[in-house]
Amino acid sequence: MPAPGKRSYVALISTPSARENLDYSFHSSSARYDATVTLLRPHRLFAILLFIGLFAMAARNVLDPDIWWHLKTGEWIVQHRAVPHTDPFSYTRAGQPWIAQEWLFELSIYGLFRLTGYGGLTLTFATIVSAAFLLMYLRCQSTSAIAAALTVWGALATAVVWGVRPQILSLLLFSLWLWILERSEKNPKLLWWTLPLTLLWVNVHAGFILGPVFLALFIAGESMERYSSSGFVQRRLPWLLLALLGNLALVPLNPNGFSILWYPFQTLRSNAMQSYISEWASPNFHGVDYRAFLFLILATFAALAFSRRKVRLRDILLLLVSTAAALSSVRMIPLFVLVAVPLLARTAASDRFKQSRPSATNATSPSVLANAGIVFLLAAFAGVHTFQVIQRQPRAEATAFPVAAVAYLQQHPPSGPVFNEYSWGGYLIFRLYPNMRVFIDGRADLYGDDLLQFINAYYLQKNWQQVLIAQKVTTVIVPPDCPLASALREMPEWSLSYQDSVATIFSRPLYSSSLPGKVSSDASRQGGATGTSLTLAAPY
């Protein structure tokens, strides 16, 4: 008999309720262990490690030249409770029509920035990049190792366009779009999910046009296959056509209406943007940044040439279109990667290497612990790396943008219009609007061929002084080693007001009827000799 005041262990477990509690605890622990084992099996382990690794790769400082005017546009929308339809930020295009086609993106990141600062932007966009490539990984019908390796390869090929920018949202939405189109072969009803996707996409970025275009390419490709033996493709065509019509019907549901449908094509027709915006130019394969893309193209077409597996006509059509787009513009490289990598994975996998499936047997405890340790170590590395990136933000910002020069302008407001460096326009808008408006910024779609005015003045081309005179410019903020800075140093009416390693500020009195003095022939020749080498940032 147990001692008084003490409970008997035998009596404790002998009651029905106690046995039920012990059984529940045992089964709960067993269920958690089984869930952990399932989660850490090789095929899922690769996905987890891939997501964490890509997150670490994509965690970058907020340095895109256009993010600043995106943030200021979001603030403008909040303050005015409306979407702008004319330009509020520059004096050269003030009051001119402006299609703010990324308004929902701008409103969202402004709210995120207000709540979380730069760190929240870095974490959010690293997550978006990782999710986009994880979806691509899931489309690779190959072994987990091959699929993961090709996904990393594709990510490296597109890393040149990563950053905190609306284009990254288009990367995720296009990746999800392709996933839906491919999965809908077995379940055509999935195509209806493209409708809310389009409704979101058309309000965050002009890349929405990729959805209907590739849906049309699927229709064209599968129309060529409709006499296949299965006949299944033919039965799916009505679903694809209905989805295309439904998506096109949703396009006008944005603040800009039907005009947003023509906006991407109008942008492509701008000669100035095609000639002077680096991301609209073809990739330069002499540069290291594009080697991964070059080798991916070669590997894809080599695999198709030597593979014994039959490639669908639809896939060939998608590949040809995306290849042509990527070779025409750096911005389109992700398009090619999202199409080519799953195709390369399917082609490279032989009959011996089928897609990894969950094993029917339980993994041993040592293997589970080892896999958990690998995940933990990589997650720790990603966390430390991301923390360091966020901590470096002020230093990185001061290196890329005229932080100190802007502080000077805040203390010494310009007496008249300001001529600014192209890639600094957005930063000046973010820091100085509404007290100061800019000559130009990254909204190259707004300025169009007037972008050439900046080119002429910056590189001392074609009556460059007339550009400053016409706008009555009294302040110039440019890098200290640019041709315009060299010329202004030799002109008596311009005085050096501020200079550091990043920026130089020149000022002059308000204009009278007399023209500025002439620049020396040496400075003119210096500007003219380098005028064709201009490379600008992307407009959005």
Q: What is the pLDDT of residues 383-393, one digit of tens each?
A: 999 999 999 99
pLDDT at 41: 61
Residue of higher predicted confidence among 72 and 350: 72
pLDDT at 399: 97
DSSP code, position 116:
H
User: Do residue 298 and residue 192 come from a single domain?
Assistant: yes
In a domain, 193, yes or no: yes
pLDDT at 273: 72
User: Do residue 406 and residue 359 come from a single domain?
Assistant: no
pLDDT at 538: 45
Crossing angle for the helix pair 393-400 and 403-411, to the nearest 10 degrees: 80
- What pTM, to 2 d.p., does this model score? 0.86
In a domain, 413, yes or no: yes
Residue 518 has pLDDT above 50, yes or no: no
Distance CA 445, CA 266 (A): 8
Residue 504 has pLDDT above 50, yes or no: yes
User: Do residue 463 and residue 356 come from a single domain?
Assistant: no
Q: Which two tokens stand for residue 281?
A: 């130019």
Distance CA 155, CA 173 (A): 16
Burial of 358 (0-12, 13-18, 19+ CB in 10 A): exposed
pLDDT at 44: 78
User: Do residue 337 and residue 441 come from a single domain?
Assistant: no
User: Do residue 406 and residue 276 come from a single domain?
Assistant: no
Distance CA 150, CA 140 (A): 9
**What is the share, in percent, of the chain residues with pLDDT greater than 90?**
67
User: Do residue 410 and residue 278 come from a single domain?
Assistant: no
Kindly report, residue by residue over 18-67, the tens digit of the pLDDT. 445 544 444 454 445 454 445 556 667 888 999 999 999 999 999 999 99
> Of the candidates 344, 369, 394, which is a domain's last residue?
369
In a domain, 120, yes or no: no
> Of the candidates 348, 369, 390, which is a domain's last residue?
369
User: Do residue 317 and residue 407 come from a single domain?
Assistant: no
User: What is the pairing mode between strands 475-478 and 418-420?
Assistant: parallel
Residue 338 has pLDDT above 90, yes or no: yes
User: Do residue 327 and residue 457 come from a single domain?
Assistant: no
User: Do residue 313 and residue 432 come from a single domain?
Assistant: no
Q: In 3D, which of 272, 229, 230, 213 has the Cα closest to residue 451?
A: 272
In a domain, 167, yes or no: yes
User: Do residue 355 and residue 430 come from a single domain?
Assistant: no
> Of the candidates 347, 369, 391, which is a domain's last residue?
369
User: 319 with 343: CB under 8 angstroms?
Assistant: yes
| Range(s) of the domain holding residue 54 | 39-63+130-369
CA 205 to chain centre: 10
Positive or negative torsion for Cα 413, 414, 417, 423:
negative
Burial of 43 (0-12, 13-18, 19+ CB in 10 A): middle
Distance CA 258, CA 261 (A): 6
Q: In 3D, which of 315, 327, 516, 320 has the Cα closest to residue 419?
A: 516
pLDDT at 12: 41
User: Do residue 356 and residue 262 come from a single domain?
Assistant: yes
Number of domains making up the chain = 2
User: Do residue 347 and residue 490 come from a single domain?
Assistant: no
In a domain, 180, yes or no: yes
Residue 540 has pLDDT above 60, yes or no: no
In a domain, 314, yes or no: yes
In a domain, 10, yes or no: no
Q: Kindly report the average pLDDT of the chain as a whole number.
A: 85
In a domain, 469, yes or no: yes
